[in-house]
């Protein structure tokens, strides 16, 4: 049953102003990441002139940027004007300095990409048109759509929690299987399929996606020591020969890119390459299940899909269930993902 959300707080002049100014905070952080400014501040505090020399930009411009970052709470500032020193706030050395193993700055390429920036800038026109303004050979379904290359490199903060949830949901099914032939559909970075192959040592993965994003998937397979258990299919998963049969097919954050009838058509195609006793798993955001505030990410994804696709939208749980039923699968098991407004749907062929 959908969550009943509490009413939002009253809109005030302050909330209007904070919302309108939010894009400036985003641009500050994205610019600081692109300049590797947090690297330049590691070991500081330092004056603007030293930071400017490190990042290779004029001192005045860097000082203005640093003072703005300080006002946004993204760096520290101490000292009198023109002689300030700037440093890292707590957590920045761990998350925003590129040499840290927990570096998270790459998320800017996905969460605040130039492509998203431009699309949201044209949101009024998109809504009035009722669909994407992009040409069909340049929308999110095209082989060279730049966002998917960035997503393959950087992923999102939700990638690892969702892979853990998928692994946990499948563990009882996988326990007694001597072999798992796994197809990762629209694999991107392939971390979902590779994490499953890492967990289930009897698994071999085939990752399917556009050829432009598969290099990162291959790199991840090498880094995880799974290159000898991974192979790849480059092309459109709606038309390419998917080979098979497979014991397990995974679709992570893939179905929302398409209208429901197209998602059903793809699932029907995947049922055709599923081995007896096999499973198909769809993982992704849902809407209408957790309430408006927790679903911010999923609902913003629907906005992007409005701008980038011809009919894509994040489904409610009922939409996922309908697609599986209409494609000829058993009633899916539904699993929540702890801490995230997303769900897993696990089904076998009827």
Tell which of 39, 64, 99 closes a domain. Answer: 99
Alpha helices in the chain (DSSP H): 13-34, 37-41, 48-55, 59-71, 92-95, 108-111, 114-121, 123-129, 146-154, 159-174, 191-199, 214-223, 260-271, 296-308, 317-326
CB 324 within 8 A of CB 345: yes
**Count of the separate structural domains present in the chain:** 2
Q: What's residue 2's pLDDT? A: 47
Which residues have CB under 8 Å from 223's CB, separation 6+?
A: none
- What would you measure as the largest C-alpha separation in the chain, in angstroms? 72
Bridge partners of 223?
none
The reported pTM is: 0.83
State how far the Cα of 350 lies from the Cα of 341, in Å rounded to an integer.
29
Q: What is the pLDDT of residues 287-319, one digit of tens each?
A: 988 888 888 888 988 999 999 999 999 999 999
Q: Identify whether residues 83 and 227 lie together within a single domain.
A: no
- For residue 225, what are the domain limits? 146-347
Residue 120 belongs to a domain? no
Q: Identify whether residues 210 and 320 lie together within a single domain.
A: yes
Q: Identify whether residues 92 and 204 lie together within a single domain.
A: no
Burial 189-226 (b: 16+ CB within 10 A, else e): bbbbbbbbbbbbeebbbbbbbbebbbebbeebbeebeb
Least confident of 1-5, 129-133, 152-156: 1-5
pLDDT above 60 (res 44): yes
Hey, what are 289's tokens?
A: 């299940």
pLDDT above 60 (res 153): no
Tell which of 33, 66, 99 closes a domain. Answer: 99
Q: Identify whether residues 156 and 251 lie together within a single domain.
A: yes
Q: Identify whether residues 170 and 85 lie together within a single domain.
A: no
Tell which of 42, 69, 99 closes a domain. Answer: 99
Q: Identify whether residues 155 and 247 lie together within a single domain.
A: yes
Q: What's residue 83's pLDDT? A: 84
Look up the CATH number of the domain holding residue 50: 1.10.10.10
State how far the Cα of 326 lies from the Cα of 149, in Å rounded to an integer.
32
pLDDT above 50 (res 38): yes
Q: Identify whether residues 310 and 164 lie together within a single domain.
A: yes
Q: What is the pLDDT of residues 59-89, one digit of tens each?
A: 999 999 999 999 999 999 999 887 899 999 9
Look up the CATH number of the domain holding residue 342: 3.40.50.150
């Amino acid at each position: 049953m959908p969550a009943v959300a509490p009413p939002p707080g009253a809109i005030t002049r302050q909330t209007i102003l904070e919302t309108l100014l939010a894009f400036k905070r985003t641009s500050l952080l994205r610019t600081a990441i692109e300049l590797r400014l947090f690297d330049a501040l590691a070991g500081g505090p330092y004056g603007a002139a030293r930071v400017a020399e490190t990042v290779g930009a004029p001192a005045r411009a860097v000082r203005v940027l640093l003072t703005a970052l300080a006002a946004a709470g993204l760096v520290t500032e101490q000292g009198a004007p023109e002689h300030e020193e700037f440093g890292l706030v707590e957590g920045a050395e761990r998350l925003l300095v590129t040499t840290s193993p927990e570096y998270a700055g790459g998320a800017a390429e996905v969460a605040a990409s130039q492509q998203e920036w431009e699309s949201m800038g044209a949101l009024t026109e998109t809504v009035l048109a009722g669909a994407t303004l992009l040409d069909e050979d340049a929308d999110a379904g095209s082989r060279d759509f730049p966002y998917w290359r960035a997503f393959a490199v950087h992923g999102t903060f939700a990638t690892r929690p969702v892979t853990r949830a998928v692994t946990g949901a499948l563990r009882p099914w996988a326990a007694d299987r001597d072999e798992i032939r796994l197809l990762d559909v629209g694999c991107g970075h392939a971390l979902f399929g590779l994490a499953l192959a890492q967990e289930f040592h009897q698994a071999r993965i085939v990752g399917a996606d556009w050829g432009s994003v598969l290099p990162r998937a291959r790199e991840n397979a090498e880094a995880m020591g799974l290159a000898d258990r991974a192979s790849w299919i480059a092309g459109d998963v709606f038309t390419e020969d998917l080979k098979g049969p497979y014991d397990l097919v995974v679709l992570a954050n893939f179905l929302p890119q398409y209208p429901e009838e197209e998602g059903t058509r793809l699932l029907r195609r995947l049922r055709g390459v599923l081995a007896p006793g096999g499973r198909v798993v769809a993982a992704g955001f849902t809407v209408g299940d957790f309430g408006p505030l927790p679903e911010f990410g999923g609902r913003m994804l629907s906005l992007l899909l409005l701008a980038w696709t011809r009919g894509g939208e994040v489904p409610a749980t009922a939409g996922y269930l309908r697609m599986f039923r209409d494609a000829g699968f058993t009633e899916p098991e539904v699993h929540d993902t702890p801490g995230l407004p997303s769900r897993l749907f696990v089904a076998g062929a009827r």
